[in-house]
Chain A
Amino acid sequence: MQSLKSNYFQLFNLPQSCEIDQEALNDEYRKQQGEVHPDRFANAEEHEKLRALQLSSYLNEAYETIKSPLRRAAYLLALHDIDVEKVDQNDLSMDLLLEQIQLREKLDELPKDESALADLDMLRAEVISKLERQENRFAEFFVVANYEDAKKVYHELQFLNKLRNEIDAGEELRLGY
């Protein structure tokens, strides 16, 4: 494992890109975790234990970031000095907001019992296909170094992701989990 300062992509020997080889990531993560995990140092000196804790935590954070398409997108932008936490109102188009309102209304109008499950599945499928489309758009802008537009697409991804989580929560609610 390389130093704590290295970039997450380099850490996993992956090219710095929007699309990643998930299998290669998993393999590399497991291999490195096998080297730095505190369990490998259960019998070691205190300072070695502490170092293992830090390296292993760092590796987990890096892995979670690269694995999730949304977090990966934010990270890629951050590597190009774009802070996604700073939301410019102009980044959010009226079309995007209207679409979000419509999708949310659809979700809110569904009955609050099991009869809504099929509709929830349909709504989720719709959101997932939108997510995939936006992930592709993000990649298109990113590849040509158009980070401003990539950032706008990132915010769309954020909205859609949140909506997807709410659909999942709504489903659990109706299944009585």
Chain B
Amino acid sequence: MEHLASGNETAAIAAKMSRASCMPVFPITPQTEIIETLARWKANGELNAEFFTMDSEHSVMSAAVGCSATGARTFTATSSQGLTLMNEILFIASGMRLPIVMANVSRGLSAPITLWSDHTDFLNQKGDGWVQVHAQDNQEVFDSLVMAFKISEDRKVLLPSMVNLDGYVLSYTKEPIDVPTQKEIDKFLPPYKPKHAFFKPNKPLIQGAAVLKPEAYTYFRGQHHLANLNALEVIQEVCKDFKKKFGRDYGNGLIEEYKTNDADVIIVTQGSISTTAKAAVNEMRKGGRRKTKVGLLRLRTITPWPHKEVAKALQGAKHIAVFEKNVSPGRGGLMMSDLKASLYDHTKKKPIITEFVMGLGGSPESIQMFKHGVKLAKKDRKGEVHWLG
């Protein structure tokens, strides 16, 4: 049934309907509404889960590791500074191969302090070995969280997943979402029954122990890497299954191509700015004699990085305009190196890439901004970098 919900409410509904049974939590703007909603349901008996309020995000992720290591389906949510405070334990969660699912509501990092969304917080976690997807609207927040449990718990993957949604622009924006029945969700996502090592009282074991031999450590890191590469396949399978059951199509689940077939210029985006960029694509394609053949590539799966799919989507374009709502000082946008690596490995013709660092600390995007960007990209001969906003 369709109803109106904010991105945060949507995430809470998805966690509840996925029957996550353990939820360690700590509040942080703009994510707090997720755990407030879950806490309200816990208090009035609607939520059948262990709900722990912890003293910090570091403790939240530590508790999540403990919960998941006992074989419990575990959910939590965070944002920005909270995510960076979890950093140490994020590597432990993925290294121990624990299928925790977390919603991260993106927000720029301090200093200076901002409450608004940009993507620096979670792109900064590119190396932690979590599976990461980025939603463009509230419907995708719901669908991605439900799918994330299935992907994470797959025996070929067994990795934690982070589903990113943009602060405010999705977290506090109400839009219509279609929520399946509990029965339909249960059929798609059966209870989690771990077959690998997990804690139980009658069988002592150690997880995440020290391996002082470098070859053992290398073995585990190699396995972790392979599991991430397996996720490229599993994400596609789960998206296909999801489409069959619920009718919503996320293609291969790795990238989304919008009107790229005949495009001379391709805009590259991720997250909620993508829908405004699509509206800009539609307008630019309308413009009569002055129309531009423009398309859009949306990066949906951030880790593992789908090199081949990205290169294939971009190979026909003359110009590429990358809009990055993040910055790594001294490097530039955090997606550029991955994007360029994909093109280097998988295409012969090298299109010119114009980079736009935009939307930092919630600086607003608009249809005009994307149109302006495409205009600059078409004139670019050397790969310029522009800061917008």
Q: Do A and B bind each other?
A: no
Name B's A-contacting residues (CB within 8 A).
Answer: none
Name A's B-contacting residues (CB within 8 A).
Answer: none
